[in-house]
Structure formats: structure tokens, C-alpha cells
Amino acid sequence: MQIGLVGLGKMGGNMRERLRNAGHEVFGYDTNPDVSDVDNLVELADRLRAPRAIWVMVPAGAATQGVIDQLASVLKPGDTVIDGGNSRWTDDEKHAEELAKHGIGFVDAGVSGGVWGLENGYALMVGGDKEHVDRLKPIFDALKPEGPYGYVHAGKVGAGHFAKMVHNGIEYAMMQAYAEGWELLEKVDSVTDVREVFRSWQEGTVIRSWLLDLAVNALDEDEHLEKLRGYAEDSGEGRWTVEAGIDNAVPLPAITASLFARFASRQPDSPQMKLIAALRNQFGGHAVESTK
């Protein structure tokens, strides 16, 4: 099958290679001419036979909107656009409506696999009309991991990115739990080899996972993580998950706490704890530490 791919970064570039390895004809476009197969989106569309399919792998928000706007002007009725970036599901509904005015189909694909996807395959959560999804099934089959799992047509437009958003929210909470356990193990004197404790959990325990395997990899590289600063960004999907929980009155205490923990990591000196220290001093005469 032929497909166009817009955005050839870490994931997009590997996806192009995995698709080509599976025998598909892929034309890629990127603003970096060193990795691009074509010079612009017009040339990309011209290289493809109708009905065309173009997969977009660019940052969510303005960048994705800009590509969608351009594709609406160069594609024809019967073509399909797939957004495989981390767009918000509400944007999917907007993009589908905009493209439908031109007779162009739209599919949203939540993609998980990161830099390991080329070798292991990508978990795909797809949203869109059945006719559009079914036509793209050979592409999904090539990108997904081998075996029966790793792909789902999750529902209508927006369902793919909503599912991926929840996936990332769960990921936040799982990583936070591992991190808290690691810190506690490092804190006590009785445990003398925290890294090997983590390694012992990789087989036969209920908390074994790929994330645990990656944690062991990280500890093998830097046993006490002394080379790292305790600072973690959030991609936006954690926030969207918490907001969706609020909108739907679904309690998400673990995911919400893990998101707030990332916010706390960015504060070298917590303003909140300053007031708490002051209050403890006021009502109980508890000692406070001066900045001087």
C-alpha cells in the first residue's frame, strides 16, 4: 500500500522504516530536507495514487492544525488523513469536520511505542468511521506488534486519542509508584542493593512490567541516579486526563497525584511549604529553617 508520512522525527522516521520493511511504499515529508523524500506537501500528494492516505506525525496544537489546513487544500475527495500525533480528542472532532467539507476522511491514531517501536511495533488505538479505518488496516497491521494484540478500533473520531490519553495518564501513575518505592528503598539503611531489588521484581511478581524493565536499565546505567536532576516535564496528556475526569465526574486520585508530583519537581523551593512551616511555627513554636 502507498502512504504519505508528514513528520519524520524520532517516531515518524522509525515508522517510515517499519512500513518500508513490511513492503509498503512510503513517501515522507519533513521540514528538515536531510530526511525528507519530497520538498513540500503538494509534491507529497502528487506522488501518491488516489485514493491517497497521509499520516501526520507532528506536535499537537498549532503545528497539526497547520498541516491539516494545508492538506485540505491539496488532497481530493476520497482521500484520508490520519493524525498519529498526541492531539487532544476534541481537536480530532474539529479536524474531521473541517476535512469532511472537502470530502476527505479523517482517522485519529493514538500511538505508543516510542523509540522502541521500530523493533517491537507500535500499540495503536484508532478512532474514525469504519470505512476509513478498514481501508488503512494494512498500514495498521504493519505498524502494530506481532501477534493478536496491540491494535484496536476504539470507536468514532476522537476515540483513538482519548484512549491514548488515558493510557498516558495510567503511565503517569505507574511511573510515580515505581519512583516512590525506589526513593523509600534508597532511604532506609537496611536495604543495601536497591537496584537488585528492582531486578528481582522482573520475574514472578505482580508488579513486573516493561516500565520496570526500563527502570532497571536506567539503574544499570546510573545506580543511584546521581547524574540526573529531579525534574520531570508533562506532555499535556496527563493534564487532559485529569480534566476529562473532572468533566465526567470520574475520580482519578492516583493519576492526579502523579501529575501534581511532576509540578512539584519543578520547584527548587516549595512556596507552599514555606507557609506550612510558618504556620507550624505560629501555632506550635516549631523550628523553621532560614534561607540565610
Say whether both 235 and 215 belong to one domain: yes
Task: Answer left, alpha or beta for residue 165, where phi above 0 means left and psi between -120 and 50 means alpha.
Answer: alpha
* Residue 281 located in a structural domain: no
* Residue 280 located in a structural domain: no
Taking 90 as the threshold, does the pLDDT of residue 270 lie above it?
A: no
Taking each helix axis as running N to C, give the angle between helix 253-265 and helix 159-187, from 0 to 180 degrees, rounded to the nearest 10: 70
Is 200:207 a contact under the CB 8 Å cutoff? no
Q: What is the mean pLDDT of residues 28-37?
A: 95
Q: What pLDDT is attached to residue 234?
A: 85
Q: What pLDDT is attached to residue 71?
A: 97
Say whether both 7 and 152 belong to one domain: yes
Q: What pLDDT is attached to residue 114?
A: 83
Q: What is the mean pLDDT of residues 14-18?
A: 96
Would residue 137 show up in a list of annotated catalytic residues for this protein? no
Say whether both 30 and 133 belong to one domain: yes
Q: What pLDDT is attached to residue 88?
A: 94
Selected catalytic residue, list 76, 137, 164, 226:
164
Q: Which amino acid is at 27?
A: F
Percent of the chain residues topping a pLDDT of 90: 84
- For residues 227 and 218, give the distance between their C-alpha atoms in angstroms, rounded to a whole number: 11
Is 83:77 a contact under the CB 8 Å cutoff? no
3-state secondary structure 223-250: CCCCCCCCCCCCCCHHHHHHHHHHHCCC
Taking 70 as the threshold, does the pLDDT of residue 77 lie above it?
A: yes
Q: Domain ends where: 123, 156, 189? A: 156
Q: Domain ends where: 107, 135, 156? A: 156
Q: Which three cell numbers stand for residue 119?
A: 523493533
Total number of domains in the chain: 2
In this structure, the dihedral spanned by the alpha carbons of residues 142, 148, 154 and 159, taken in order and rounded to 10 degrees, is -50
Say whether both 117 and 233 belong to one domain: no
The CATH number covering residue 195 comes to 1.10.1040.10
Full strand arrangement of the beta sheet holding 105-112: 25-29, 2-6, 53-56, 80-83, 105-112, 123-127, 151-155
Per the DSSP assignment, residues forming a β-bridge with 125 are: 110, 152
Q: Which three cell numbers stand for residue 232?
A: 520531570
Say whether both 78 and 207 belong to one domain: no
Average predicted confidence (pLDDT) for the chain: 94
Taking 80 as the threshold, does the pLDDT of residue 121 lie above it?
A: yes
Q: What is the mean pLDDT of residues 250-277?
A: 88
What's the pTM value of the predicted model, to 2 decimals?
0.90
Would residue 221 show up in a list of annotated catalytic residues for this protein? no
pLDDT, tens digit (0-9, with 9 covering 90-100), for 39-67: 999 999 999 999 999 999 999 999 999 99
- 286 versus 170: the higher-pLDDT residue is 170
* Residue 284 located in a structural domain: no
* Residue 289 located in a structural domain: no
Say whether both 178 and 151 belong to one domain: no
Say whether both 18 and 84 belong to one domain: yes
Selected catalytic residue, list 94, 101, 156, 171:
171
Taking 70 as the threshold, does the pLDDT of residue 292 lie above it?
A: no
pLDDT, tens digit (0-9, with 9 covering 90-100), for 96-113: 999 999 999 999 999 998
Say whether both 10 and 151 belong to one domain: yes
* Residue 73 located in a structural domain: yes
Q: What pLDDT is attached to residue 275?
A: 76
Say whether both 7 and 147 belong to one domain: yes
pLDDT, tens digit (0-9, with 9 covering 90-100), for 190-235: 999 999 999 999 999 999 999 999 999 999 999 999 998 888 888 7
For 74, list phi and psi in degrees, rounded to 5. -110, -20
* Residue 288 located in a structural domain: no
pLDDT band at 131 (very low <50, low <70, confident <90, very high): very high
Say whether both 13 and 139 belong to one domain: yes
pLDDT, tens digit (0-9, with 9 covering 90-100), for 141-165: 999 999 999 999 999 999 999 999 9
Q: Which three cell numbers stand for residue 187?
A: 532511604
Task: Answer left, alpha or beta for residue 135, where phi above 0 means left and psi between -120 and 50 means alpha.
Answer: alpha
Domain boundaries, position 89: 2-156
* Residue 222 located in a structural domain: yes
Say whether both 94 and 175 belong to one domain: no
Taking 90 as the threshold, does the pLDDT of residue 284 lie above it?
A: no
Task: Answer left, alpha or beta for residue 224, where phi above 0 means left and psi between -120 and 50 means alpha.
Answer: alpha
The CATH number covering residue 26 comes to 3.40.50.720
Q: Domain ends where: 100, 126, 156? A: 156
* Residue 34 located in a structural domain: yes
Say whether both 245 and 170 belong to one domain: yes
pLDDT, tens digit (0-9, with 9 covering 90-100), for 232-251: 888 789 999 999 999 999 99
